[in-house]
Amino acid sequence: MRRGHVRFPARAKAPLYLLAGAGITALSLRSVPDPFPSSGDLSLSAAERIRLEVEGIVRSSRALYAITYVIADYKFSLWGLERRPVDHHNKLLEVHLRSAQRLLKLCETNKGFYVKAGQFVSSLRQVPKEYSSTFSTLQDKAVPCPFEDIKEVIARNLGKNFTDLFYSFDEKPIAAASIAQVHHALLRDRQEVAVKVQYPGLQQQLTVDLRTMAVLSSFVSQIFPDYRLEWMVSEFKRTLSSELDFLQEAKNAERTARNFKTKKIIKVPHVFWDLTTKQVLTMQFFHGQKIDDVEFLKDSGIDPGKVAKTLVELFSEMIFIHGFVHGDPHPGNILVSPDGYQGFSLIILDHGIYRELDEEFRTDYCRLWKALVLMDSPTIHEIGGRFGLGQYAKYLPVIFTGRTLESKSNLGKQMPAEEKRELRRELLALKMGDISSFMESMPPDFLTVLRTDGQLRSIMGRLGAPARVRLLSYARFAACGLSSKHRNENAYLFDQIISGITTRASYLHLRFLLEILELLSRLESLGHSILVKVKWLLPRMAHFTNLSRRTLLADAQMI
């Protein structure tokens, strides 16, 4: 049999998948729990229910067909290659890319929930890069809703005539996402505001889609035990449910503003509560550009390196000290303004996805980063065990610092070629079931910080910031986060002073280690550079010496 990817006769299978889609939609509507039980009344009229079920059948049929195709492609394309790791790996990359492209078409066709799900997957560093890079195109592919529908949502939520609320309202959205779009407006007192409006009928549609995805993921896991996706559906449901409640988003924004009230370089838009509901959010409007717009930064005289340092310090404080983390720091949610006493300021937008870290997890995560910097293998394994990672704890240094526990490379530097080859051989031996087990074992808090860290590293890479900036920031705030000063505000002044000294000493120890490693790395590079130059110069010096000797002999003979 010639090996290749699977081809299904779509027309012949269409009635079967429509029937299956009908069954899945009916099952999801009636037997799967409501994913948004606290989001309001979802009671539907008979006509609305029929329309919803018909749309659900069509959308579920597409999803069922695409997912079945993808799973079959993996099974048949990789069949018989288990004993040949290199061939298996190369073929796996092909199937990854092919499957990602197929699922991208599904997201673009079904829109709504599926676009949001694709965006969620694109932000995960744990998924194959073929998926994350392919799905990254969905970040800017939301289709705006007609203004008349948006106007109706605003009127229904705010209960007033449009002209009574706003002096002017731009009908063309300045931003459109998968669940809402944002309009620029002026209040009656001429204040500039950004009005975020949830798409009409979105909650009902997402309820059906999410229930359908839960049923499909369960079916996939039963048929193919190695392909377990429930962890992803569960995490996505959690983030999506928080995004649908704009009142909660407003509270998140105000809490973040309080956490950084002393940091003038950080700005969070003010909330206009009298113009805010679960489906409409009105906030202060800020002018700025996406944080990864390097050309804008340079034209504005802003150092991209300083912007990167400020960004990573902001999120380091969120993670290691406050334990209240913005869960979606993609470039569109973080703007840079040339205004600010340091020459610029960061504007943090879209506060819908937040995670409040468990205090025990926050402390353990601080300890983990201190252990990663010091390469403290026993502590790394201990904390990995506390996180439920078991045998996979040994991969924590690879995930966060790019080196193995046995690595001989300096912190923040690339692994030597031999170490890379050894790690690649080890990873090739992992099966899909191992990867599923690893993802399932992660506590939700760990998944959040891992996802956030991946997005930060991506932005810092575009800004040209070296890895050392992130490592130093994490080391500093991990040391601060372990201090009792930040966990017990009622401590006596003497205890606070001692705690502050201890924290500073711990950080200086970590920083000293990083500086030494950096110096050794530079000396190594300098030594290599000098050696190369000496090797280039020696033969030329020998040639010049021989030439000079011959010239002197010739002159002597002439005398």
Could you give the dihedral angle defined by the CA atoms of residues 400, 406, 412 and 413, in that order, rounded to the nearest 10 degrees? -130
Closest Cα partner for 8 from 55, 58, 60, 76? 76
What is the 3 state secondary structure string of 438-485? HHHHCCHHHHHHHHHHHHHHHHHHHCCCCHHHHHHHHHHHHHHHCCHH
Q: What residues are labeled active site?
A: 328
In angstroms and rounded to an integer, the radius of gyration of the C-alpha atoms of the chain is 28
Beta carbons of 115 and 142 less than 8 angstroms apart: yes
**Residue 483: partners with Cβ closer than 8 Å, 6 or more residues away:** 499, 500, 502, 503
List the one residue out of 505, 522, 514 whose CA is nearest residue 473. 514
Angle at 472 between CA 469 and CA 477, to 5 degrees: 125
Tokens for 548, please give them: 């000079």
Q: Which two tokens stand for residue 74?
A: 């993996």
Rounded Cα distance, 55 and 208, in Å: 9
Query: CA-CA distance, 408 to 98, in Å (whole number)?
Result: 37
DSSP 77-126: HSTT-TT-HHHHHHHHHHHHHHHHHHHHHHHHHH-THHHHHHHHHHT-TT
